Amino acid sequence: MNRAALFDVDGTLADTNHLHVTCWWEALRQGGHDVAMHDIHRAIGLPGEDLLDHLLGDDRDTDEDDTLSAAHDTLYGTYFDRLPPLDSAAELLRELHRRGWRVVLVTSAQEHELDALRRAIDADDAVTATASADDVDEGKPAPDPVHHALDLADAPAHGSVFVGDTVWDMKAGARAEVACVGLLCGGIPRADLEEAGARAVYRDPADLLAHLDHSPFALPPAGDGRPAPAGKELDP
């Protein structure tokens, strides 16, 4: 049976969440919207249209959505040549690939953003496929992107693991009935990730790699009579 190791990208493998916050804040400011950066941070991980729904309400004038998204994309694009990967992100993907997992990236990023992120992470040799919000009718927190990723990996939900850094990731994974692992490097508190469905929480990819043999990647799937791991958060 194939096993899928599913990974969000922004905030999980690349240290880009706060870049997105800044770019969305400036794009919204240019559009005449005063939105707190804290609120934008909590919306990162949603597809662009859903992010705007979340921040501005679904009763807003949607005619300006394309302008706001284009402003964000232009601002974020200025960082494409220096997007920072998180420590040990590539090593984690390669180690899982070496152990026989089919690694699939599950992201809300558009194709041009994903290309830049993949160059930054530099682990394409370990990646089986990518699944984006553009491939499905509904993005995270709906389970559709996770279901699509499982199809790409030709793997069942039972026995597969989804790693992400936002509550949207955890909700999507939980709804797709895969084991969810949360990372704190995206800036979302442990309690919020656990409440949204995380079975284990780690500080960042390096922390997960260091404890891989005691993580959901090493244990049998939930429901087999063995307890799920509590995870480990190291001191900064």
- For residue 3, what pLDDT band results from cuts at 50, 70 and 90? very high
Please tell me the predicted confidence (pLDDT) of residue 220: 62
Residue 162 and residue 9: Cα distance in Å, rounded?
A: 11
Q: Which CATH code fits 4-15+84-232?
A: 3.40.50.1000
120-168 confidence digits (pLDDT tens) = 999 999 999 999 877 888 999 999 999 999 999 999 999 999 999 999 9
Total-model pTM? 0.92
Domain boundaries, the chain: 4-15+84-232, 17-78
Q: What pLDDT, on the 0 to 100 scale, is given for residue 135?
A: 87
pLDDT recorded at residue 219: 65
Instruction: Mention the CATH class of domain 17-78.
Output: mainly alpha
pLDDT score of 26 more than 90: yes
pLDDT digits (tens, 9 = 90+) for 30-76: 999 999 999 999 999 999 999 999 999 988 989 999 999 999 999 99
Q: Does 58 or 86 have the greater pLDDT score?
A: 86
Residue 90 has pLDDT above 90, yes or no: yes
Percent of the chain with pLDDT over 70: 92
The pLDDT of residue 229 is above 80: no
Q: What is the pLDDT of residues 93-117, one digit of tens each?
A: 999 999 999 999 999 888 889 999 9
> Given this model, what pLDDT does residue 1 score?
85
Q: Distance between CA 185 and CA 82 in Å, rounded?
A: 18
Structure confidence at residue 221 (pLDDT): 52
pLDDT band at 230 (very low <50, low <70, confident <90, very high): very low
pLDDT at res. 165: 98
Contact 116, 141 (CB under 8 A): no
- Tokens 């969000």, located at residue: 8
Q: Taking a C-beta distance cutoff of 8 angstroms, is the pair 120, 10 a contact? A: no
